[in-house]
Amino acid sequence: MLNSLINLDRRWIFLAMLLAVAIPILMQVTFPEKVSPMVINVFDAVENLPEGSSVLMAYDYDPASAGELHPMATAFTRHCAFKKHKMYFMTLWPAGLPMVQQNLDILNREYPEYEYGTDYVNLGYKTGLEGVIKLATTNLREIYSSDNQGTNLDNIPMTADLKDISKMDLIINVSAGTPGAKEWVQYASTPFKIPTVVGTTGVGAPALYPYIPNQLVGLLGAIKGAAEYEKYLIGQYPELAENPSAQEGLRRMAPQMTAHVLMIFLIVLGNIIFFQQKRKGV
């Protein structure tokens, strides 16, 4: 028994992981979530703004991290739409533009009263990493002369009088790395005292904790943060309960749970084998 476990083909582990993830997805299982105070803080930062506030939606992620970050980005977009906030979308990631577009598609599909140019605008992608943030906070026109479709900012009602982003009421940043949350904190939130909330990956979240609560109001960490935000959002706006695409994060928590439990089982099993070998002097 011990020998067969020592020489266990790793493909069995791959198969176990496949089943641990696939079964909850196929069975569409969901588990209860408890909303943490941190997520409530993030929610309140959006909720407590007066209706029609200006919110910068900086979505700095790409398809590789979309599995973890897209549900929280869509939850933020829906929440801002419910509050009728004016949304300014932008991204510092080359592959982030289609991610922004998918959020705009949600506005077009689910909030038809939302009008491009008066309720939301897509500033698109610009090269220059944190340099873009630095310029956008002091002189937006130096870096953005038009929106993503090439329309001059002077011809868009929302941006006609917008000189820089320092007067934004809130920055919502969904960040998968660099440039991302850290750069927004360093070049926009802190120097211009703009309230900022962040959604980030599980790997990236621990490094952002030192910024809370002074530089960041709060953060959503990984799919767990997204699931809790979705649950709280549905609690406040029950009409979302009928919308399956607004519960993507909640659905993804089930495979995450089974995968985590499998990981713990494998670590324990590996250690049992290790100590058995040690005892036998192998």
Partner 1 sequence: MKQTVPFLIASIAGLLMIAANFFPFSQSWGEVTVKWFDILAAFAFIIGGGNLLKMNLQKVSERKAGWGFALVTVIAFLVTLFVGLGKVGTHPLADHPNHPWAAPYFQDGSSFWWVFNYVYLPLAATMFAMLAFYIASAAFRAFRAKNPEAIILLVVAFIILLGRTSAGLMLTDWIPDNTEWYSYLRAEKLTGVIMDVFNLAGNRAIMIGIALGVVSYSLKIVMGVDRSYLGSD
Chain residues in the site for partner 1 (CB under 8 A): 8, 10, 13-14, 16-18, 21, 31-34, 36, 62-67, 95, 97-98, 101, 126-129, 131-132, 134-135, 138-139, 142-143, 148-150, 202, 205-207, 209-210, 221-222, 224, 253-254, 256-257, 259-264, 266-267, 269-271, 274
Minimum CB distance to partner 1 smaller for 139 or for 236: 139
**By the 8 A CB rule, do 226 and 75 touch?**
yes
**Backbone phi, then psi, for 231, in 5-degree steps?**
-65, -45
Distance CA 27, CA 235 (A): 24
Name the minimum Å distance from CB 209 to partner 1: 5
Minimum CB distance to partner 1 smaller for 32 or for 281: 32
Closest CA to 101 of 92, 86, 110, 90: 90
**Backbone phi, then psi, for 46, in 5-degree steps?**
-85, -45
The helix or strand, by DSSP H or E, that contains position 175, with its residue range, turns out to be strand 170-175
Please, what is the Cα angle at 265 between 247 and 204, to 5 degrees? 50
Minimum CB distance to partner 1 smaller for 239 or for 267: 267
Q: In what order do the strands lie in the sheet with 120-125?
A: 120-125, 86-91, 54-60, 170-175, 196-200, 218-221
Name the minimum Å distance from CB 83 to partner 1: 27
- Using only the alpha carbons of the chain, give its radius of gyration: 22
Name the minimum Å distance from CB 207 to partner 1: 5
Minimum CB distance to partner 1 smaller for 4 or for 51: 4
Name the minimum Å distance from CB 94 to partner 1: 8
Minimum CB distance to partner 1 smaller for 202 or for 244: 202
**By the 8 A CB rule, do 56 and 90 touch?**
yes
Distance CA 109, CA 77 (A): 12
Name the minimum Å distance from CB 52 to partner 1: 27
Minimum CB distance to partner 1 smaller for 55 or for 216: 216
Name the minimum Å distance from CB 84 to partner 1: 26
Q: 107: how many CB neighbours lie within 10 A of its CB?
A: 21
Distance CA 49, CA 149 (A): 29
Strand partners, 54: 86
Minimum CB distance to partner 1 smaller for 52 or for 191: 191
Name the minimum Å distance from CB 34 to partner 1: 6
